[in-house]
């Protein structure tokens, strides 16, 4: 029965998968790794053009490692969460120094690279190297929550039970498991979506536990919404946008102009955020202590 599920989903994927550059036959493991980091919390449409430019400029980990961290942050453009650019740069350096510039194909070796967590390590091992791993991202968790568990959405945090379910569904051989993994994720991205699932287009709707239960609404613990307006995150973003746009050190007065007092939640917010950016390695103070720039 599980094999029927696999066949239905893999067949659907072959007919409906998006053509993305990191899925092309000429893709590299590095390209897959870069795509996975960029796609963390950022939609495909916004990643694609940045990924193309990035890969043209830095076609191998060693190429990126030879650049400055600031160049990486600037090339990250407006994908968001710019610490990912810093970590990707650090991972490239680690790949150059510890793996002779070759992206490792071992799950545990991938997992300890900067910015590579449980999901991304499994994704690279699976999509770039065709291995057999449970790949649990938000899409897969939602599909399994519905199709297997019969619930409208997954729990707020990944559970051991979900890992066990995903592992139990994995086809035996590596190649099929890898195709299954990408197929489930694509179904979650295109059909079994969070807001308005297109169950009429779903290849497994007839055996979906959630559909068979009458599509009951979510009854788990509420998800905390992301706060935004007036937060440090917003102020950090505005400060960093100024540093990114400038190609020389920026005076404090220019940062004050970008984030005026009236926009602050408290009088110390701007200084606190600036210090936070410096602490995170996203900004560096100049020798005079009156200028800031992206890291060199």
Partner DNA sequence: TACACGTGGAT
Partner DNA sequence: TATCCAAGTGT
Cβ proximity to DNA, 228 vs 287, nearer residue:
228
Supply the minimum distance, in Å, between the C-beta of residue 72 and DNA.
Answer: 13
SS3 category, 240: helix
Q: Which two tokens stand for residue 184?
A: 């489930």
Segment lying near DNA (by CB under 7 A), choices 41-49, 60-68, 93-101, 199-207:
41-49
**Angle CA(7)–CA(142)–CA(107) in degrees, nearest 5?**
75
Rounded to an integer, what distance in angstroms lies between the CA atom of residue 58 and that of residue 93? 12
How far is CA 90 from its chain centroid?
16
Cβ proximity to DNA, 4 vs 263, nearer residue:
263
Cβ proximity to DNA, 108 vs 288, nearer residue:
108
What's the longest Cα–Cα distance across the chain?
Answer: 69
Q: What is each CA distance from 249 to 32, 70, 284, 287, in whole angstroms?
A: 34, 12, 9, 11
Rounded to an integer, what distance in angstroms lies between the CA atom of residue 189 and that of residue 73? 27
48 tagged catalytic? no
What number of CA atoms fall less than 13 Å from residue 214's CA on the CB side? 1
Q: Examine residue 157 and tell whether it contacts DNA (CB under 7 A).
A: yes
Q: Examine residue 27 and tell whether it contacts DNA (CB under 7 A).
A: no
Supply the minimum distance, in Å, between the C-beta of residue 86 and DNA.
Answer: 9
Q: Contacts with DNA in 126-145 (CB under 7 A)?
A: 137-139, 142
Q: Which two tokens stand for residue 77?
A: 């453009």
Catalytic residue from among 36, 48, 118, 186: 36
Rounded to an integer, what distance in angstroms lies between the CA atom of residue 276 and that of residue 228? 17
Cβ proximity to DNA, 105 vs 114, nearer residue:
114
Segment lying near DNA (by CB under 7 A), choices 55-63, 74-82, 170-178, 246-254:
74-82
Site string for DNA, 207-246 (x = CB under 7 A): ----------------xxxxxx--xxxx-xxx-xx-----
Rounded to an integer, what distance in angstroms lies between the CA atom of residue 119 and that of residue 129? 15
Supply the minimum distance, in Å, between the C-beta of residue 117 and DNA.
Answer: 3
Supply the minimum distance, in Å, between the C-beta of residue 219 and DNA.
Answer: 14
Q: What is each CA distance from 224 to 141, 157, 217, 250, 285, in whole angstroms?
A: 18, 11, 17, 36, 35
Query: Is the dihedral angle over the CA atoms 52, 58, 59, 65 positive or is it negative?
Result: negative
Segment lying near DNA (by CB under 7 A), choices 1-9, 64-72, 79-87, 165-173:
79-87
Q: Contacts with DNA in 244-263 (CB under 7 A)?
A: none
Indicate which single residue of 8, 20, 107, 242 sits in contact with DNA (rule: CB under 7 A): 20
- What is the set of active-site residues? 36
Positions touching DNA (CB under 7 A) are 20, 22-23, 35-36, 39-44, 46, 78-83, 87, 114-121, 123, 137-139, 142, 156-157, 185-186, 188-189, 193-196, 223-228, 231-234, 236-238, 240-241, 276
């Amino acid at each position: 029965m599980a094999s029927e599920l696999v066949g239905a989903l893999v067949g659907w994927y072959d007919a409906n998968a998006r053509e993305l550059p990191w899925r092309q036959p000429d893709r590299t493991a590095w390209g897959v790794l870069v795509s996975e980091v960029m796609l963390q919390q950022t939609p495909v449409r916004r990643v694609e053009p940045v990924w193309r430019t990035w890969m043209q400029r830095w076609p191998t980990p060693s190429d990126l490692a030879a650049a400055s961290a600031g160049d990486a942050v600037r090339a990250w453009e407006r994908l968001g969460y710019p610490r990912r650019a810093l970590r990707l740069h650090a991972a490239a350096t680690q790949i150059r120094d510890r793996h002779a510039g070759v992206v490792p194909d071992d799950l545990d070796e991938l997992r300890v690279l900067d910015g590579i967590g449980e999901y991304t390590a499994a994704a690279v091992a699976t999509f770039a190297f065709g291995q057999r791993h449970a790949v649990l991202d938000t899409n897969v968790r939602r599909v399994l929550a519905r199709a297997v568990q019969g619930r409208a959405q997954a729990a707020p945090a990944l559970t051991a039970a979900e890992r066990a379910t995903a592992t139990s569904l994995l086809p035996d051989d590596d190649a099929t498991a890898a195709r299954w993994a990408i197929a489930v994720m694509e179904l979650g991205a295109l059909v079994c979506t969070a807001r308005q699932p297109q169950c009429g287009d779903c290849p497994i709707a007839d055996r979906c536990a959630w559909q068979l239960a009458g599509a009951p609404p979510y009854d788990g613990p509420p998800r905390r919404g992301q706060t935004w307006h007036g937060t440090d995150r917003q102020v950090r973003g505005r400060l960093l946008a100024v540093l990114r746009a400038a190609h020389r050190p920026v005076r404090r007065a220019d940062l004050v102009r970008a984030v005026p007092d009236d926009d602050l939640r408290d009088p110390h917010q701007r200084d606190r955020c600036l210090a936070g950016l410096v602490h995170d390695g996203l900004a560096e103070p100049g020798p005079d202590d009156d200028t800031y720039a992206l890291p060199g």
